[in-house]
Amino acid sequence: PMSIQRADAVYLILFTILCVVTVTVQIVLSTIIISELLPDLKYKSLISAILMLAVSSAINYAQIDTTIITGGFILLLAVVRLD
């Protein structure tokens, strides 16, 4: 049982690190997009984080299934060329 508990702890730590990295990448990318659209705006990272929190809270509150939206974004990224 002790080795199983240690393996579970490793999976939890790995999952937590991956979540933090994913959120960080999303905030950085949204900050870059906001910088492209509104170059004179201050506090871009803070605005990005607040907008992400607001959208995720709204989706959670409305109990929207995001599977179709995520699939659509994946298909869109598969089709769009990034030259």
Q: Which residues contact 47 (CB under 8 A, 6 or more apart)?
A: 34, 41
Q: Which residues contact 49 (CB under 8 A, 6 or more apart)?
A: 27
The encoded tokens of residue 1 equal 């049982």
Helix (H), strand (E) counts: the chain: 3, 0
Give, for all 83 residues of the chain, the pLDDT tens digit.
566 677 788 889 999 999 999 988 988 888 888 888 888 988 888 888 898 899 989 989 999 888 888 888 888 888 877 66
Interatomic CA distance for residues 62 and 80, integer angstroms: 30
Taking the complete model, does pTM exceed 0.75, yes or no? no
How high is the pLDDT of residue 61?
93
